[in-house]
């Protein structure tokens, strides 16, 4: 623990005052802002009894809580266990993966409740929150977890908090532009969460390019059990993705349909991932990196279209393609991005979120443009795309165009935002580690000593006695 380390000249990674200061000041700010702005929405307020009477609701079951809470909990697991454990694959960075993800997400959901609240739930000077706000806050933070994947192991916790602050802000602006100004559908967030989050993170890691990162190359791999820990993350993301894509869809058939489409897409994605993982290796062996990540691309790629009438076979096609694209990305694109474009992408979010996110946006645009009253039914058509009020005259093809515009806007926001935030994070005040200390928990965490010898002694008392 106390051994000297080559930490470069001016690197001071001691977080003792900086991290507490940021955490405590920001939490205090949250308390003040929540105090001024945030109140319970009608369905969570004790006045609900009267509300119910006014709205002629005969059952407590009509409370949105019962429509969305199970999906909320699944999404919650994806953000904290899913993303957290997916990133534990690094042999020496498990604490950082799970712990920093925990930290940034816990801060991010508070800030997201405010930012998204101002845009979407603001009424008479107050933000009125309910279970849907909790889901949306988790979604917003999901985009930060994605970006975290690109810079995993190379940043200090303060940098992560700073990035979270800005990214949540930009996410909310981008989301407002897409959902409210462009009137785009994106329930599972192919554009708002994945495309935006991934290209934002890739831009940040490009700006933070570390030319000497090969100094910590020995720590960039996995060990046997760290790969199994990562599979916990993978499987929870995979299993609960149907909840993710359906969590904020309209009640009834839309939620039901989203879950089915996502289930189908993910199932297909596993098979094409396995196929290409084996095919692209000389000896035909499967690579855990692909299984841990590319199997999830099918969930990303139906994020926009899952609540539409994509149909089960459409979902299989999208899932199959995204598994292939993602696996090929890990084998060919990631090395290219690193060597040629100087984009060091620790978890390969370009393959898991960026490309499948783009696919998702495009599939969404096509599916929307191809919608007909015949397929959706007259009422279902209007409901599915919310063609009411000022949007009464929108046609499917126009909607498709706006969906495509949503992709472009998300990309622009991601590049511009990522460049600015990357520049801020490059300031030499945040306490990030030197290149040779990247991917190492020991910098920011108390790490238990002597794992080996301990376990060893445990079952070999004889040797323990005579070391």
Site for its own copies in 442-461 (CB under 8 A): 442, 444-456, 458-461
333's CB contacts (< 8 A; 6+ apart) are 350, 351
Full strand arrangement of the beta sheet holding 122-123: 38-40, 126-129, 122-123
Selected binder of its own copies within 166, 171, 199, 263 (CB under 8 A): 263
Task: By CB under 8 A, tell whether 379 contacts its own copies.
Answer: yes
Q: How far apart are CA 437 and CA 440, in angstroms?
A: 6
* Of residues 108-147, those binding its own copies (CB under 8 A): 109-110, 113, 129-131, 134
Q: How far is CA 296 from CA 175, 266, 323, 436, in A?
A: 23, 7, 8, 31
Answer yes or no: are the C-beta atoms of 89 and 227 closer than 8 Å. yes
Residue 452 has which token pair? 């080996």
* Of residues 399-418, those binding its own copies (CB under 8 A): none
Stretch that binds its own copies, among 178-186, 254-262, 342-350, 359-367 (CB under 8 A): 254-262
Selected binder of its own copies within 7, 11, 69, 424 (CB under 8 A): 69
Report the candidate in 179, 94, 85, 138 with the shortest Cα–Cα distance to residue 403: 179
Selected binder of its own copies within 11, 44, 210, 424 (CB under 8 A): 44
Comparison of 282 and 340: residue with beta carbon closer to its own copies: 282
Stretch that binds its own copies, among 63-71, 170-178, 351-359, 414-422 (CB under 8 A): 63-71
How many other C-beta atoms can be found within 10 angstroms of the C-beta atom of residue 366? Answer: 18
Q: What number of CA atoms fall less than 13 Å from residue 190's CA on the CB side?
A: 33
- State the nearest-atom distance from the C-beta of 209 to its own copies, in Å: 26
Task: By CB under 8 A, tell whether 31 contacts its own copies.
Answer: yes
- State the nearest-atom distance from the C-beta of 78 to its own copies, in Å: 10
- State the nearest-atom distance from the C-beta of 324 to its own copies, in Å: 9
Answer yes or no: are the C-beta atoms of 207 and 423 closer than 8 Å. yes
Q: How far apart are CA 199 and CA 337, in angstroms?
A: 13
Selected binder of its own copies within 177, 309, 363, 409 (CB under 8 A): 309
Selected binder of its own copies within 209, 381, 391, 415 (CB under 8 A): 381
* Of residues 311-330, those binding its own copies (CB under 8 A): 311-313, 316-317, 320
- State the nearest-atom distance from the C-beta of 162 to its own copies, in Å: 14
Stretch that binds its own copies, among 87-95, 353-361, 389-397, 406-414 (CB under 8 A): 87-95
- State the nearest-atom distance from the C-beta of 429 to its own copies, in Å: 15
* Of residues 179-218, those binding its own copies (CB under 8 A): 218
Q: How far apart are CA 324 and CA 294, in angstroms?
A: 8
Q: How far apart are CA 172 and CA 191, in angstroms?
A: 13
- State the nearest-atom distance from the C-beta of 340 to its own copies, in Å: 25
Task: By CB under 8 A, tell whether 388 contacts its own copies.
Answer: no
Strand 126-129 versus strand 122-123 pairing type: antiparallel
Q: How far apart are CA 304 and CA 191, in angstroms?
A: 7
Size of the site for its own copies (CB under 8 A): 154
Q: How far apart are CA 294 and CA 265, in angstroms?
A: 12
Comparison of 228 and 424: residue with beta carbon closer to its own copies: 228
């Amino acid at each position: 623990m106390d051994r000297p380390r080559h930490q470069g000249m001016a690197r001071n990674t001691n977080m003792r005052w900086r991290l507490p200061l940021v955490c405590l000041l920001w939490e205090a700010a949250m308390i003040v802002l929540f105090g001024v702005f945030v109140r319970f929405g009608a369905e969570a307020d004790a006045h609900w009894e009267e509300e119910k009477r006014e709205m002629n609701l005969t059952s407590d079951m009509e409370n949105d809580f019962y429509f969305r809470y199970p999906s909320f909990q699944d999404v919650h697991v994806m953000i904290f266990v899913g993303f957290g454990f997916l990133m534990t694959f690094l042999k020496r960075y498990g604490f950082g993966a799970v712990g920093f993800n925990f930290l940034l997400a816990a801060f991010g959901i508070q800030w997201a409740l405010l930012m998204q609240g101002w845009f979407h739930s603001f009424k008479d000077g107050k933000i009125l929150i309910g279970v849907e706000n909790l889901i949306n806050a988790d979604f917003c933070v999901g985009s930060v977890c994605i970006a975290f994947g690109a810079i995993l192991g190379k940043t200090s916790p303060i940098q992560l908090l700073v990035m979270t602050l800005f990214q949540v802000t930009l996410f909310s602006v981008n989301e407002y532009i897409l959902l409210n100004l462009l009137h785009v559908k994106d329930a599972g967030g192919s554009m708002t969460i994945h495309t935006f989050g991934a290209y934002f993170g890739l831009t940040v890691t490009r700006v933070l390019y570390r030319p000497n990162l090969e100094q910590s190359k020995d720590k960039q791999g996995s060990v046997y059990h760290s790969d199994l820990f990562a599979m916990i993350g993978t499987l929870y993301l995979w299993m609960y993705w149907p909840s993710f894509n359906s969590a904020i869809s309209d009640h009834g058939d839309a939620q039901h349909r989203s879950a089915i489409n996502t289930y189908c897409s993910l199932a297909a994605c596993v098979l094409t991932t396995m196929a290409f993982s084996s095919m692209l290796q000389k000896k035909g062996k499967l690579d855990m990196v692909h299984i841990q990540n590319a199997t999830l691309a099918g969930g990303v790629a139906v994020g926009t279209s899952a609540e539409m009438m994509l149909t089960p076979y459409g979902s299989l096609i999208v899932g199959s393609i995204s598994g292939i694209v993602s696996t090929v990305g890990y084998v060919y694109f990631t090395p290219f991005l690193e060597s040629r474009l100087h984009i060091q992408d620790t978890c390969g979010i370009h393959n898991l979120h960026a490309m499948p996110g783009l696919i998702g946006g495009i599939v969404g645009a096509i599916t929307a443009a191809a919608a007909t009253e015949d397929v959706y039914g007259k009422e279902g058509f209007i409901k599915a795309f919310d063609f009411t009020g000022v949007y009464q005259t929108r046609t499917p093809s126009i909607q498709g165009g706006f969906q495509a515009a949503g992709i472009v806007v998300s990309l622009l926001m991601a590049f511009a935002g990522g460049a600015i935030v990357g520049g801020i994070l490059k300031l030499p005040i945040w306490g990030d580690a030197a290149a040779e200390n990247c991917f190492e928990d020991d910098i920011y965490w108390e790490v238990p000593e002597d794992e080996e010898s301990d376990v060893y002694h445990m079952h070999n008392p004889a040797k323990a006695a005579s070391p």
